[in-house]
């Protein structure tokens, strides 16, 4: 069964249709990279998957459960958006850490808030917080940040901040981890350290959707590459096919513009 099944997602802003029917699916442990020029709708698609935007059409299912169906009655669609969001983790271009919290606090914050809804929260608070804290430390260690847990974001490099953001996204154990150009705000050296941890996650069978303009990385890490242009999927398939031997003229032009840069 597909972990993620996206069917015919459409989204307009005003009169302009930005997503014109995007479909793809993803099995557990697979990595899909989405490539395409600026303005092609990649961020809008990720925002739709994470319920930060409501699609105008189409459906989104996770592990066979329909989380969104534009054809369903409005009341049903609105039901418990927060729970639905928990299926997805999102790592933004610009990290978006909370500046007033340490690295560790950034990673534990959402879990602590959610814990309040658990039964017997008051009696079990100490145990619950200890568990959340332990898991956060483990994730930060996995991100190579054992010695940075008590630092505030402004005391960290961009690459370190982005690795904290990845730990934070993983802390709620999402079914699918999404990245929106996770390295585009970083210089080449810091880019490599972030790509290394994403590579590690792929090796550990983390199911991921990665919007990236790092072509060599996309080719290396992905099970599937999707080339988007002007709100449609122009071409999709294995990295060898889409990046190595594209069949569509638009894909070739896009890749050529990269090779010349």
Ligand X SMILES: Nc1ncnc2c1ncn2[C@@H]1O[C@H](COP(=O)(O)OP(=O)(O)O)[C@@H](O)[C@H]1O
Residues that bind ligand X (CB under 6 A): 13, 18, 36, 38-44
The distance of closest approach from Cβ of residue 171 to Mg ion in the complex, given in angstroms and rounded to an integer, is: 24
Rounded CA separation 58/103 (Å):
37
Of the pair 5, 53, the CB lying nearest ligand X is at 53
Please name which of 172, 203, 9, 6 lies closest in space to residue 91, comparing C-alpha atoms: 172
Of the pair 36, 174, the CB lying nearest Mg ion is at 36
User: 202 with 31: CB under 8 angstroms?
Assistant: yes
The distance of closest approach from Cβ of residue 149 to ligand X in the complex, given in angstroms and rounded to an integer, is: 32
Taking residues 18 to 47 in sequence order and writing x for each that binds Mg ion by CB under 5 A, - otherwise, the string is ------------------------xx----
Number of residues this chain uses to bind Mg ion (CB under 5 A): 2
User: 180 with 92: CB under 8 angstroms?
Assistant: yes
Of the pair 43, 59, the CB lying nearest Mg ion is at 43
Supply the Cα-derived Rg of the chain in whole angstroms: 19
Of the pair 43, 160, the CB lying nearest ligand X is at 43
Q: Which does 44 bind (CB under 5 to 8 A by kind): ligand X, Mg ion, none?
A: ligand X
User: 40 with 46: CB under 8 angstroms?
Assistant: no
Please name which of 166, 112, 114 lies closest in space to residue 143, comparing C-alpha atoms: 166
Phi, psi of 198 (to 5 degrees): -70, -40
Q: Residue numbers of the site for Mg ion (CB under 5 A)?
A: 42-43
């Amino acid at each position: 069964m597909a972990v993620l099944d996206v069917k015919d997602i459409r989204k307009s802003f005003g009169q302009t249709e930005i997503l014109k029917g995007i479909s793809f699916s993803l099995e557990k442990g697979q990595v899909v990279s989405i490539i395409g020029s600026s303005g092609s709708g990649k961020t809008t698609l990720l925002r739709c998957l994470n319920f930060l935007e409501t699609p105008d059409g189409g459906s989104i299912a996770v592990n066979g459960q329909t989380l969104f169906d534009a054809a369903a009655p409005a009341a049903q669609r609105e039901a418990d958006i927060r729970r639905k969001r928990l299926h997805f983790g999102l790592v933004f271009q610009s990290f978006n850490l909370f500046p007033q919290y340490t690295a560790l606090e950034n990673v534990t914050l959402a879990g602590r808030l959610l814990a309040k809804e658990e039964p017997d929260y008051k009696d079990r608070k100490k145990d619950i917080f200890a568990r959340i804290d332990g898991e956060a430390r483990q994730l930060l260690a996995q991100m190579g940040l054992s010695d940075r847990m008590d630092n505030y974001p402004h005391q960290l490099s961009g690459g370190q901040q982005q690795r904290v953001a990845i730990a934070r996204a993983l802390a709620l154990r999402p079914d699918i981890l999404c990245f929106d150009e996770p390295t585009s705000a970083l210089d080449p050296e810091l880019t490599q350290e972030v790509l290394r941890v994403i590579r590690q996650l792929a090796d550990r069978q983390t199911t991921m959707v990665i919007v990236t303009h790092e072509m060599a990385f996309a080719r290396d890490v992905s099970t599937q590459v999707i080339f988007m242009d002007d709100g449609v999927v122009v071409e999709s398939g294995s990295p060898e096919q889409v990046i190595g031997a594209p069949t569509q003229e638009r894909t070739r032009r896009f890749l050529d513009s990269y090779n010349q840069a």
